[in-house]
Amino acid sequence: MTSHTLNELIADGVRGRHVLVRSDLNVPLDGSTVTDDGRIRASLPVLTQLVDAGARVIVMAHLGRPKGSVDPKYSIAPAADRLRELAGFPVRTATDVVGEDARAQAGALADGEALILENVRFDPRETSKDEAERQEFAGELKALTGENGAYVNDAFGAVHRKHASVFDIADLLPAYQGELVRTEVEVLKTLTEAPKRPYVVVLGGSKVSDKLAVIENLLGRADHLLIGGGMVFTFLKALGHPVGGSLLEEDQLDVVRGYLGKAKELGCEIVLPTDIVMASKFGEDAEHEVLAADGLESGRFGATGLGLDIGPESAERFASFIRSANTVFWNGPMGVFEIEAFAGGTRTVAQALADSEAFSVVGGGDSASAVRSLGFDEDDFGHISTGGGASLEYLEGKELPGLTALEGQ
């Protein structure tokens, strides 16, 4: 079953109608300053289309994990302020989610205006395990739209959550798939159903346990699986190499050994770094040196050294695999890219992707932040996902509630 599209909604006519849009404004903050506005920029096209068509747009979004209570540090206000700066249309903000201010402002919206509700996760019913509680909250969200409302889900980063603003609301209003969600699904289908070979997957980030199901599902699909980031030390330890004080998940060693064996059976090559940047400590002023991956305790820092990036030899080897690929999926940085001394591996991988003619997908979260913070042009990449965890769950083969709800229309 296919979902109804945004174009269908606009063709049906939205002038004068309230359209409830689930957007993804979950951006990183430094106090009240947005440090990466990628998701805000990605949300703008759908909002602009609706506003230009005369809709009265009500935006629902979350920021962080306030755990069902009002917490000023998780206010949507900084993200709303940034969206207002970028938008070419009037943007109001509500001081609550479905309370007196939200109701009053929704009722006062004019054609071609937008209202951003306060963080939907300030209401405990948004994330409740109790279906009746979620449905009650969804009903109050629906009430903001009046008699002839519609719902658009344009928050791919939230479709893996069975939350009121993602799942339950789609039962109460005519529901449509936003362009951001549609694009993400198309891209991920390409990666899982018909990737052009050679297909290279680059996985990084801190923990193997975060990527277990993805590795499991991609072993039979990818030709080469390149492993970097903090997760690499569990792989190195599984092969019998000492890793000093580097991040290690002891409870995953047997699982990783299983993957190394299974990869050979399935014809997928798992490629591990041959050198690592080891540091005396975690910090900007840390001393560091490059050591062979099978001798990480042989340097100046001995058994207390921390591996904080793949080495230059490994980075160039990873880049050569990327250059020879026709499809590349990258999720997770190669090291602590926020610190310049440990950004080399991530920068080299990003540059190889930017230079590549392959269909390239940068997984959301830290990978997308790395691309932007290291100064790359987003247009150099085939697709930069806004999905993060949702993208990974799709690649794991899981059913995503937000997508299921749209297909049930």
Residues in the chain: 409
Q: Confirm or deny that 365 is annotated as ligand binding.
A: yes
Cis (ω within 30 of 0) for the bond into 198? Answer: yes
Mean pLDDT value across residues 198-217? 89
Q: Is 157 annotated as a binding residue?
A: no
**Is 119 annotated as belonging to a binding site?**
no
Show the tokens assigned to 82. 């940034």
What per-residue confidence (pLDDT) applies to 409?
60
Q: What is the dihedral of CA 121, 126, 127, 130, to 10 degrees?
A: 150
17 in a labelled binding site: no
Catalytic residue IDs = 39, 207, 365, 389
**What is the dihedral angle through the alpha carbons of 90, 80, 136, 69, rounded to the nearest 10 degrees?**
-150
How many Cα atoms sit within 13 Å of 12 on the Cβ side?
15
* Tens of pLDDT, residues 12-40: 999 999 999 999 999 999 999 999 898 99
Express each pLDDT in 77-119 by its tens digit: 999 999 999 999 999 999 999 999 999 999 999 999 999 999 9
> Is 285 labelled a binding residue?
no
- In the predicted model, is pLDDT for residue 203 greater than 80? yes
26 assigned binding-site residue:
yes
User: Is residue 163 within 8 Å of residue 397, measured between CB atoms?
Assistant: no
pLDDT at residue number 368: 82
